[in-house]
Structure 1
Amino acid sequence: MVTVFYDSMCPLCVKEMRKLSRWDSEGALNLVDIHQADFSDRFPDVDPSAANRILHAQDHNGKMVYGLDATYVAWHAVGKGVWVSWLRWPMIAWFADKTYLFFARHRYRISALLTGQARCQQCQII
């Protein structure tokens, strides 16, 4: 099982989690909202502030991965890893990681441009 810690106040983030959830026919993902009231109690080893800055995931071996590595692990878990695997290629990974960090830092503005909604009060996946 792969656990993905996502920002439920980000419309684009929730949209991606919806897609992953639809593709997850094997139950390979555990999608966890970092804004849940009991988040820190349930996941004391995950800093919610850090998880709000950059995507966090725990792979099936229990290893924490971050950013596009977290994205790859999640997409791979639902059988779509090939769609994002090129983002981890050595000659592309550095640029992709920098682009991801820019996106993560400005995701609310980007969400507003693409969806018309900058934030939501804990958008629902389902």
Structure 2
Amino acid sequence: MNKVTVWYDGGCPLCLREIALFRRLDKKGAIKFVDLTSPGISCPLDRNFMLDRFHARENNVLLSGAAAFAAMWRAVPVLRPLGIAARFPGVLPMLESAYRLFLRIRPRLQRYAGGRLKT
């Protein structure tokens, strides 16, 4: 299995919950998590752009949105079938549409998650 790098928004309570879940699922350490809000972190793209959309690198290919999630899923054995299914014709465009919808409601979800985040 290839190493995947994931960039995430460490200032987003919703993102922190999701990354915590994936860290628990990633028992083999196949994912390198990079907090874009940490000082001194270099970004392969503009930091604000990367904060606006989810990004991952798989096999030296930079991915964003649903494709980045699918790469992360493929790195975790229990979710690997979902990541592989995303490669079937027509599946990734549907996932990307759902991701774009999610981005529209993300600010409300962040406020909700922020009020209930336990650190």
**Taking structure 2 as the reference length, what is the TM-score of the superposition?**
0.80
Structure 1 gaps, min length 5: none
After superposition, the C-alpha distances for 1:70-90 in whole angstroms (9 at most, x for unaligned) are 111112112112245545543
Structure 2 gaps, min length 5: none
Q: Which residue of 2 aligns with 1:3?
A: 5
Q: Which residue of 1 aligns with 2:50?
A: 51
**Are 2:74 and 1:76 equivalent residues in the alignment?**
yes
Letter in 1 for 2:36: I
CA distance in 1, matches of 2:87, 2:96: 9
| CA apart distance, 1:102 | 2.5
**Are 2:39 and 1:37 equivalent residues in the alignment?**
yes
Q: Which residue of 2 aligns with 1:23?
A: 25
CA distance in 2, matches of 1:90, 1:57: 21
RMSD, matched Cα: 2.3
1:106 match: secondary structure: helix
After superposition, the C-alpha distances for 1:41-97 in whole angstroms (9 at most, x for unaligned) are x33x222111111111111x2110111111111121121122455455433432321
Identity fraction in percent: 28
Which ranges of 4 or more aligned residues in structure 1 deviate by more than 6 Å?
none
2:90 match: secondary structure: helix
Letter in 1 for 2:80: G
**Taking structure 1 as the reference length, what is the TM-score of the superposition?**
0.76
Q: Which residue of 1 aligns with 2:111?
A: 112
Matches within 5 A, 1:93-112: 93-112=92-111
Letter in 2 for 1:6: Y
CA distance in 2, matches of 1:105, 1:52: 14
2:108 match: secondary structure: helix
